[in-house]
Amino acid sequence: MKNIAILASGSGSNAENIARYFADNKNINVSVILSNNPRAGVHARANTLGIPSFTFTREEFVEATPILKKLAEYHIDLIVLAGFMNKISEPLLKAFPGKIINIHPALLPKHGGKGMYGMHVHEAVVAAKEKESGITIHYINENYDEGATIFQATCPVEPTDTPEEVANKVHALEYLHFPKVIEKLLTL
Ligand code: GAR
């Protein structure tokens, strides 16, 4: 059995989509959800799905010992960031080399970096009059949004699209592709 930990800071719609995708899988399981935000919607979703979820402070994420303990407890093979807004600290990167992946809601290297998350990204895409946007699934390294790309998918951006409309198109790509990319990584 391969065990996934999902890290999420917000609503957690990707976390839920991934968990549902693997619900009947005998070899891959979403075992635990970690967040930096006790009020994040992802906890209610985890509760409904019957997946344990925990909140850790920013300091605990930086220091990493309590996180590493929790990940060991659940025998985690892959850490999936799904809307996680904290930087991943060095001890975590060292403990899980090549085993931490993120989804970014745009076509990196465009519209990435510090402060570029959620709606900020879609607003930047519309402001730049991009003709397309999409998703980038990538490995995590010590810099924001700079690890090696694993997968990209694109969607058109119409001149009349609002940031919310772009967000909806990008979410659809996330729901379609993220679980499949995770499955592929864990069955290589
Ligand atoms: C997702 O669109 C994800 O790509 C984005 O946050 C959203 C979380 O939505 N991540 C980033 O912006 C990371 N830089 P969700 O909580 O409903 O899954």
Tell which atom from ligand 1 comes closest to the C-alpha of 15.
Answer: 18
Confidence (pTM): 0.96
> How far from 1 is each of 74, 136, 153, 187, CA to CA, in Å?
11, 27, 29, 11
Mutate to test the pocket of ligand 1, among 121, 135, 166, 169 (most ligand atoms within 8 A of CB): 121
The pLDDT tens digits of the residues spanning 133-165 come to: 999 999 998 776 679 999 999 999 999 999 999
Quote the pLDDT of residue 86: 87
Give me the sheet containing 149-156, strands edge to edge: 53-55, 28-35, 2-7, 76-81, 100-104, 132-139, 149-156
Kindly report the average pLDDT of the chain as a whole number: 96
Quote the pLDDT of residue 144: 64
User: How would DSSP label each residue in 19-49?
Assistant: HHHTTT-SSEEEEEEEES-TT-THHHHHHHH
The pLDDT tens digits of the residues spanning 27-71 come to: 999 999 999 999 999 999 999 999 999 999 999 999 999 999 999
Q: Specify the residue for token string 């729901």.
A: 175
Quote the pLDDT of residue 98: 92
Quote the pLDDT of residue 71: 98
Pocket of ligand 1 (CB under 6 A): 8, 10-14, 82-83, 103-105, 117-118, 121, 171, 174
